[in-house]
Amino acid sequence: MTFVKVCPVAEIPADGALGVEIEDTPVALVRTAAGEVYAVNDICSHAEVSLSEGEVYNGTIECWLHGSCFDLRSGKPTNPPATQPVATYRVKVEDGDVYVSLGSED
Ligand code: FES
């Protein structure tokens, strides 16, 4: 499980998301109101738009185009039209920096 140092936590908007590329993979880093940090694939499973441009609330990130919300822990959509999950990635925070592993959660 290789973790890659991505950026300081402070670069992720509070209660928001930051789109980054890690080893050519688009990743949405999300910081919740409670200060938890998550990483999910940044491409909506319904069409190719960036999830990091959407709203973060109730433990989900909402796709701005058609409104599907994706659970930040499981990557599963909580409402249509998306039916497929987005990949989720392991995150750790050390000394104020975010590290992500692109290895599968499973
Ligand atoms: S493109 Fe994301 S829900 Fe349609």
Q: What is the pLDDT of residues 50-102, one digit of tens each?
A: 999 999 999 999 999 999 999 999 999 999 999 999 999 999 999 999 999 99
31-58 confidence digits (pLDDT tens): 998 999 999 999 999 999 999 999 999 9
Neighbours of 71 (CB within 10 A): 18
In a domain, 16, yes or no: yes
For residue 49, the ligand 1 atom closest to its alpha carbon is: 1
73 CA → ligand 1 middle, Å: 19
Residues 64, 55 contacting (CB under 8 angstroms): yes
Mean pLDDT in residue range 20-30: 97
Pocket test for ligand 1, best of 65, 70, 83 (most atoms within 8 A of CB): 65
The whole domain housing 24 covers 4-101
In a domain, 41, yes or no: yes
In a domain, 26, yes or no: yes
In a domain, 106, yes or no: no
* Residue 105 pLDDT exceeds 60: no
Confidence of residue 106 (pLDDT cuts 50, 70, 90): very low
Residue with CA at minimum distance from ligand 1 atom 1: 47
In a domain, 62, yes or no: yes
pLDDT of residue 60: 97
Pocket test for ligand 1, best of 68, 76, 83 (most atoms within 8 A of CB): 68
SS3 53: helix
pLDDT of residue 103: 82
Q: Residue 65: which CATH number?
A: 2.102.10.10
Structure tokens given for 69: 């919300």
Q: How many domains in the chain?
A: 1
- Quote the DSSP letter at residue 64: T
